[in-house]
Amino acid sequence: MRSNKTNSGLVYSTEAGRMCPECRKPVADCICRQAKAMAPSDGVVRVLRETKGRAGKGVTLIKGLALDALSLAQLGKQLKTACGSGGTVKDGVIEVQGDHCERVMQVLKTQGYVVKRVGG
């Protein structure tokens, strides 16, 4: 017996590569994933220092920014430049190498964010 569901859809196209199953557009042009990429935020940016999983080397993490991927990358670049160190942006979290919590908090406050230090 055949199912009446029309759940099967295009998964891969030779023209565009992988396709989003929800909006049926190429993954690079997907609209629904970009909307999901912005994490819900309570308006408070949290700054913390972490060494877990980094062989004892500390990084400053900035969480809670409700920005799209491009804006988050630009802000990450500004923060890395202000601190004079490297870093990256992963899964909506900005990582700056080293212990730069105070400097990051100052930069974010001057840009109008509500900033909170987390974890001592």
Give the chain's domain count: 2
3-state DSSP call for residue 59?
A: strand
> How far, in Å, CA of 34 to CA of 106, rounded?
29
Whether the predicted model's global pTM rises above the 0.75 cut = no
> Which of 6, 40, 2, 38 has the alpha carbon at shortest distance from 24?
6
- 84 and 52 fall within a common domain: yes
Q: What are phi and psi of 19, to 5 degrees?
A: -115, 145
- 21 and 74 fall within a common domain: no
At 4 the pLDDT is 53
Structural domain of 15: 11-38
Chain position carrying tokens 């970009």: 34
At 97 the pLDDT is 93
Q: Is residue 4 part of a domain?
A: no
Report the residue count for the chain. 120
Chain position carrying tokens 């909170």: 116
At 61 the pLDDT is 94
> How far, in Å, CA of 53 to CA of 50, rounded?
9
Q: Is residue 2 part of a domain?
A: no
Q: Is residue 6 part of a domain?
A: no
Q: Which residues of the chain, if any, have pLDDT below 70? A: 1-16, 33-41, 120
At 18 the pLDDT is 74
Q: Is residue 49 part of a domain?
A: yes
Q: List residues bridging with 95 in a β-sheet.
A: 61, 88
